[in-house]
Amino acid sequence: MTDTKKSIHGQWSSRFAFILAATGSAVGLGNIWKFPYITGENGGGAFVIVYLACIALIGIPIMMAETMLGRRGRQSPINTMEDLAQEAGADPNWHYLGWLGVVAGFLILSYYSVIAGWGLSYVVKALTGSFSGASSAEIKTLFEGFIASPVQVIFWHTVFMATTMFVVARGVSGGLEKAVRFLMPTLFFLLLLLVAYAMNTDTYQRGIHFLFDPDFSKITADSVLTAMGHAFFTLSLGMGAIMVYGSYLPDHVSIAKTTVMVACADTAVALLAGIAIFPIVFANNLEAAAGPGLIFQTLPIAFGNMAGGWLFGILFFVLLVFAALSSSISLIEPAVAWLVENKNLSRFNASVFCGLATWFLGLATVFSFNIWSDFKIFDRTLFDLLDYLTANLMLPIGGFCVAVFAGWIMKQEHSRQELEMAKPEHYQIWKFLVCYISPAAVFLVFLNVVGVL
Ligand code: PHE
C-alpha cells in the first residue's frame, strides 16, 4: 500500500465519491455528442463492435493501470511519473508522459469548451421555445445559423470556460462531488425517456439495425483508429485525468471493481444516446453522417414534437452541460495540480492561468466552423485536426505508455500491492492484458493506419 502518503490537493471522501468523480469525468460530450456522430460517420454496427472490443481489451486494463499509478504517486501526473520511475529505477524521462497528458488536456479542453458552449446556448433556445413544433429543416437552419456566428459561439465558450475554472479553483471534493451525485442519475433517466420516444417512431428498428448489425465492409483502417481513439477519449484515458483522480483515491479501495463500474456506466450512456438518436435521424430523413452537429440537429426535433418536450429539452441540455463540466474539470486538473505543486501558485491563480490559455486556443475551433472553415491542413479543418491529433494519436500513445510502464517497468510487487485484487488469477489476467494485449492492440492499429499491415 502507499503507506500513509496523501495528496496535498485533498482526497475523495469515499469510494463512492471516486466512482462519481471518475464517472463524471468519463461521461460527457464523448458519450452523447461524439459517439453518435462518429458512429454515423463510420457506418454503424461494425464500428460499434470494434469500439466495444477496445473498451474491454484496451480501455479497462489501462484504466486500472492509470488509476493505480495515480494512487501510488499521489501527485500530479508529471510528478507522479517522475517518482514512480525513480522508485522502479527507470529512466526519469518517463515524466514526459505526464507532459504529453497536460498538452493533450489543453488541446482537448479547447474544443470541448466550444462544443459545451453550443450546449449552453441550446439551453436558452430550449427555454425560449425555439424547438416547439419546428420541422427538421428549421432545426437545421437554427443550428447552422448559430455556429456561423463567431460572436455568439465565443460568448458561450467564454461562459463555459469561466464556469470550469471557477469549479476547478474550488478543488476536487467541494461542489463537484455533490453535484455529480444527482446529475448522473437524472441524465440517465432523461436518456431513457428519449429512448422511449425513439421506440415510438416507425424507424426504431432501422435505428437499432444501424447501430447493432455489423457490416464489416464499412470498416477502414481509419475507422478502427477512430474507434480505438474514442475508447480512450470516452474513458478519459491516456492524458492523466484518471491518474490525477486516482491520486485522490483513499487506500484500500478496490481499483478493479470501481474502474469496471465506471466503464460500464460510460458505455451504457453512449449506447443509450445512440439508441435515442438514430431512429430520429431516419424518421426525419437526416444524414447519419452529418458530423459534429448531429445531436443538435436531431434531438431538438424530438423535443419540439413530444408532450412535455419544452421541459425535457431544457433539462436535457442542462444535463449535457453538467456532464461536460464534470469532464472538463478533469481535463485541466493535471495541469493545475502541477502548477500548484511546482510553481507555488494558488489553486485560484493556476486555474485562471490555465483557463485563459485554453480559452484562447478554443478560438481556433470557433472559427473552424465559420470564418476559417475553408482553412484546411491535411484536408482537415482546425477542429478536425485537433480532434484527430488528440483522440486518435495523443491519447492512444499516452495509454500505450501507461500500459508499458505499469506492465513492464513498475515492480510487480508494487502493482500487486496497489491493486489488491481479491484473487491472484485476477491479477494475472490484468497483468497479461496490460503487458501484451493492450499495447499490442494499440500498436497494430497504428501499423494498420500507416499501411504497414
Ligand atoms: N471522457 C470525456 C467524455 O467522454 C472526455 C475526456 C477525455 C475527459 C479525456 C477527460 C480526459 O466526454
Confidence of residue 39 (pLDDT cuts 50, 70, 90): very high
pLDDT of 248: 86
Residue 390 Cβ inside 6 Å of ligand 1? The answer reads: no
Domain assignments of the chain as residue spans, ordered by start: 15-449
Mean pLDDT score, 327-346: 92
Better-scored residue on pLDDT, 137 or 186:
137
Alpha carbon of 285 to ligand 1 centroid (Å): 31
- Using the atom order of ligand 1, give the atom closest to the CA of residue 29: 12
The Cα diameter of the chain in Å comes to 65
Residue 402 Cβ inside 6 Å of ligand 1? The answer reads: no
Q: Are 54 and 270 in contact (CB under 8 A)?
A: no
Q: Please name the residue that has the C-alpha cell 432523461.
A: 190
Residue 401 Cβ inside 6 Å of ligand 1? The answer reads: no
Average pLDDT, the chain: 93
Alpha carbon of 444 to ligand 1 centroid (Å): 24
Q: Please name the residue that has the C-alpha cell 421541459.
A: 311
Confidence of residue 4 (pLDDT cuts 50, 70, 90): low
Q: Are 319 and 185 in contact (CB under 8 A)?
A: no
Name the nearest CA neighbour of 334 among 238, 420, 266: 238
Radius of gyration of the chain (CA): 21
pLDDT of 172: 63
Confidence of residue 174 (pLDDT cuts 50, 70, 90): low
Confidence of residue 222 (pLDDT cuts 50, 70, 90): very high
> What letter represents residue 51's amino acid?
Y
Candidates 234, 237, 242, 394: which one to mutate for ligand 1, based on the most atoms within 8 Å of Cβ?
234
User: Measured between alpha carbons, how far is 351 from 446 in angstroms, rounded to an integer?
Assistant: 35
Name the nearest CA neighbour of 299 among 139, 63, 95: 139
Share of the chain above pLDDT 70, in %: 97
Residue 247 Cβ inside 6 Å of ligand 1? The answer reads: no
pLDDT at residue 330 is higher than 60: yes
Alpha carbon of 327 to ligand 1 centroid (Å): 5
Q: Are 116 and 108 in contact (CB under 8 A)?
A: no
Residue 327 Cβ inside 6 Å of ligand 1? The answer reads: yes
pLDDT at residue 278 is higher than 90: yes
- Using the atom order of ligand 1, give the atom closest to the CA of residue 331: 10
Residue 31 Cβ inside 6 Å of ligand 1? The answer reads: yes
Mean pLDDT score, 77-104: 95
User: Measured between alpha carbons, how far is 99 from 239 in angstroms, rounded to an integer?
Assistant: 9
pLDDT of 353: 96
Residue 164 Cβ inside 6 Å of ligand 1? The answer reads: no
Name the nearest CA neighbour of 47 among 36, 57, 39: 39
Residues in a beta bridge with 380: 377
Alpha carbon of 134 to ligand 1 centroid (Å): 32
Convert the pLDDT of each residue in 19-37 to its tens digit: 888 999 999 999 999 999 9
DSSP three-state, residue 380? strand
Better-scored residue on pLDDT, 54 or 312:
54
- Using the atom order of ligand 1, give the atom closest to the CA of residue 330: 10
pLDDT at residue 2 is higher than 50: no
Alpha carbon of 63 to ligand 1 centroid (Å): 13
Residue 236 Cβ inside 6 Å of ligand 1? The answer reads: yes
Q: What CATH number labels 15-449?
A: 1.10.4160
Residue 25 Cβ inside 6 Å of ligand 1? The answer reads: yes
Better-scored residue on pLDDT, 247 or 232:
232
User: Measured between alpha carbons, how far is 194 from 223 in angstroms, rounded to an integer?
Assistant: 27
pLDDT of 170: 84
pLDDT of 178: 67
User: What cell does 421 get?
Assistant: 485484487
> What letter represents residue 369's amino acid?
F
Residue 328 Cβ inside 6 Å of ligand 1? The answer reads: no
pLDDT of 176: 64
pLDDT of 175: 58
pLDDT of 1: 41
Strands (E), 106-215: none
Alpha carbon of 268 to ligand 1 centroid (Å): 15
Q: Are 420 and 15 in contact (CB under 8 A)?
A: no
pLDDT at residue 404 is higher than 90: yes
Residue 78 Cβ inside 6 Å of ligand 1? The answer reads: no
Mean pLDDT score, 230-257: 93
Mean pLDDT score, 329-339: 92
pLDDT at residue 253 is higher than 60: yes
Alpha carbon of 235 to ligand 1 centroid (Å): 6
User: Measured between alpha carbons, how far is 211 from 198 in angstroms, rounded to an integer?
Assistant: 13
Convert the pLDDT of each residue in 414-435 to its tens digit: 999 999 898 999 999 999 999 9
Better-scored residue on pLDDT, 367 or 193:
367
Q: What is the DSSP letter of 407?
A: I
